[in-house]
Every structure is written in structure tokens, then in C-alpha cells.
Amino acid sequence: MSVLNPGLAKEIQSYGTVDFSACYSCGNCTAICELSDENGFFPRNLIRYGMLGLKDKLLSSKEIWLCYGCGECSETCPREAEPGDYVAALRRYAIAHHEPTGLTKLMFRKPFAFVAITLVLALFLFFLLMTLKPDHEVARWIFDLLPFDAVHDLGLYIFIFLGIITALGLFKMLRGIRKHDTGKVKDRPAGVAKIWRATVKTVNEIITMNRYKECDRQDDAYWAPKPWFIKPWFVHWMIMMGFLGLLLATILDFIFKDPATDIWLPSRILGTVTGLMMMYGASLAIYYRLTKPTHFYTRSSLADWFFLVFIWLAGFTGFWLEAAVTFDADTVTNQVVFIIHTVISMELVLLLIFSKFAHAIYRPVALFLHYLQGPDPQA
Ligand code: SF4
Ligand code: SF4
């Protein structure tokens, strides 16, 4: 049975949406939303749950992760209840709820805490980076305070900590969905064939983002007549694939210890191509948030700006360094750019599970469960 929480509506609003109590359940948002074909009453049902204080029902919803935030529903709402913003706020609410340290809650709700945590982490990473130059006086000062082995192993401990946080978050999410779905879905375990089909569909959706594409195809959408390469789904796809490609290129560089001076190595080519993709996506996304071409872009949170500006800067400084390395220009300016690039890139990775970007972890799991519990093809 769901537990009632009378303060839930106000709490959700603090994650970045308007007062949605004006909603009178007309169903326009459900009619326009591509996801509602399969899910009946989405997103209208979630607004009802929020009004009624049904916290468990909201947190166990898979649909909040399936929504790409196209904003079509908000455009059609006659009551300005902003259902698109509401679902985005629910995602942030769920990310904060699943993350066990409470840091995410603080960062989403208190801009001051967000800025302070980002700056403190940047300072910490700066000191950590300086230990790469053991002869530098900052490094000597650090090694006076901490033994070399402790500093050396710190990175490993941080990633173990993040791994535990991520696993706990996923566990909480799955437990909520399981509780909600008990009795609703067939209890017999899924067969291998169904698991395989769900996996293929999930991977296909992650790679193609077809659902987002459908949103932009709607006849009455602002984006429908626009060329595909400036549409929001493509912008989102470029950012996502660019970011993942850069992560992969960095890992390959690390594993194979590629010499940084050879620009024709596969990892360098991958890094260059995906870096360009990420910058293209981030530049357009920033442009849309500045020019507000549709209603969806009228409200941008600090977290939205942080993410976009940081990935743009990570890309820009990355290309700067690529040029510096290619021309073997070891100047003080380039060393400063190296520090900025590394600090920003590390912040993006380390803050992933504490930011709205954590949906990249929860969404594939929700998609998989969604496909797993879908109807059998032969049914
Ligand atoms: S959120 Fe708006 S469009 Fe959706 S049911 Fe409520 S009033 Fe209608
Ligand atoms: S933002 Fe788009 S996908 Fe999300 S609920 Fe609204 S119409 Fe559906």
C-alpha cells in the first residue's frame, strides 16, 4: 500500500517545477506524449500521484526515466501545469532519493551548496593533480601531510565509493519498481529469449534514441519542419555519444599508454571525432537555452547550465591541448589549460551519480524492465 505524504507536492516543486495543482486532468498531455501509447495515462497519472502525496507510486514509476523531456506535453497544457517540467523534476527527485549520502538533495535544492561543492571538489582535484609533479612545492607540501601511498590510492578509493553509491541507488530504484509491479505483472520469471529481446531493444534504444526522435516528428511540433541535424533529439544524441566516446578514448589511452604525439592512433581519432560531436551538441543546447525557441527552454536550472557549460569547456580545452601536444608547445598557459581540462572532466565523471546526468545510469535499467515486462511478440 502506498504511504501518503501531504507535503510531497511542495517537495517536488523544490526540484524545479511550478505549482502543478492547477491541473484538472484534461488529458492533453497524455494524448500528445509518445510514451502514453503504451502506458495509458502517462504523464497525467503522475501529476495525480503528486497531488495525492503518493510518494511510493512516483518513485516506482519506470516512465519518469523513459521520458526524454521533449516538452511537447507542456506546450499543450491549458492550465500551465508544465507536465514536462514536472516529470523532469520527478527525475531529479528520484535521483536525490536513491542517492544515499544526501549530497544530491542538497545540490539540487540549494544553488549555494551546488556552487560550493563544485568549487571544493575543483580545489581537491587541483591538489591531487599537483601530486603528478612531485618536485613542485605544492606537491611537496601535500606529501608532508599525507604519505605517498595514501595519495596514490585515493583515486581508487574514490571510485570504489562511487561504485557503492551507484549500486545502492540502483538497488533502491529496483526495489521500488519491484514493490510497485508485484501482482501487476506475471510472477513467472522471464525466459532467456525474452531477456535477450529486452536487452537488444534496450541497447537499440540507447544507441538510436528512437523514442526522442518520435517526439520531434509530431506534426504540430515546432521542430517537425526543421532539419534533423538541429533537432533536440539529435543534439541530445550528439552530447551523449560524444561524452561516452570520449570516456572510451580516455580509457583506451590509459590502457594502451598511447604516445600523445601520434594523432593517427585509433584512440586519438576516436577522441577527436567524439569530442567534436560533444561540442556540436553542447553548443546547440546552450544556444537553445539562451534563445528559448520553444516553451521547453524557458526555464533552465543551475544544474542545466553547469552540465552544458562544463562539457563545452571540457571539449574546448581538450582540443586546445590536442593542438598543444601536436605542436609540442609546453608553455605555462598550456599547463594551466591542462589543469582546467582535467579538473572539469573529472568533475563531470565524479559528480555523475549526484547530478541530473545520473539518469544515464537509471534509464537503461528502466528501459530494460519496460521491455522485459512488455507483451510477448506472439501474444
Ligand atoms: S497537466 Fe495540463 S494537459 Fe496534463 S492533464 Fe493536467 S491540465 Fe491537462
Ligand atoms: S516531456 Fe515529452 S516524453 Fe516527457 S512526458 Fe512530456 S511529452 Fe512525454
pLDDT digits (tens), the chain, 379 positions: 555 677 899 999 999 888 888 999 999 999 888 777 655 788 899 999 999 999 998 998 888 998 888 888 888 899 989 999 999 999 999 999 999 999 999 999 998 999 999 999 999 998 888 877 777 777 777 777 777 777 778 888 899 999 999 999 999 999 988 877 755 555 566 788 889 999 999 999 999 988 887 776 665 667 888 898 999 999 999 999 999 998 898 888 777 766 556 667 788 888 899 999 999 999 999 999 999 988 788 888 888 888 899 999 999 999 998 888 887 777 888 888 989 999 999 999 999 999 988 999 999 999 999 898 876 544 3
Pair 252, 151 in one domain = yes
Q: Indicate if ligand 2 lies below 6 Å from the C-beta of 279.
A: no
Q: Indicate if ligand 1 lies below 6 Å from the C-beta of 39.
A: no
Pair 122, 91 in one domain = no
User: For position 291, what pLDDT does the model report?
Assistant: 94
Pair 14, 129 in one domain = no
Pair 194, 267 in one domain = yes
Probe residue for ligand 1, chosen from 21, 24, 87 as the CB with the greatest number of ligand atoms within 8 Å: 24
Virtual CA dihedral for 348, 352, 355, 358, nearest 10 degrees?
140
Inside any domain, residue 189: yes
Pair 219, 82 in one domain = no
User: For position 378, what pLDDT does the model report?
Assistant: 46
Pair 131, 74 in one domain = no
| Whether ipTM exceeds 0.95 | yes
Positive or negative torsion for Cα 97, 99, 101, 104? negative
Inside any domain, residue 252: yes
Inside any domain, residue 368: yes
Best CA proximity match to 267, nearest among 247, 241, 237, 281: 247
List, in order, residues 6 or more apart from 128 with CB less than 8 Å away: 151, 154, 155
Phi, psi of 222 (to 5 degrees): -60, -35
Cα distance from N-terminal residue to C-terminal residue, the chain: 31
Separation in Å, CA 349 to CA 199, 273, 352: 25, 20, 5
The three cell numbers of residue 211 are 523514442
- Among the candidates 98, 123, 139, a domain finishes at 98
Q: Indicate if ligand 2 lies below 6 Å from the C-beta of 73.
A: yes
Pair 298, 176 in one domain = yes
Pair 62, 177 in one domain = no
Pair 67, 163 in one domain = no
Q: Indicate if ligand 1 lies below 6 Å from the C-beta of 18.
A: no
Provide the domain count of the chain. 2
Cα separation of 237 and 243, whole Å?
Answer: 10
- Among the candidates 51, 72, 98, a domain finishes at 98
Say which ligand is closest to the CA of 64.
Answer: 2
Which residue range is the domain that position 247 belongs to? 110-372
Report the amino acid identity of residue 295: H
Residue nearest to atom 2 of ligand 2 (CA): 70
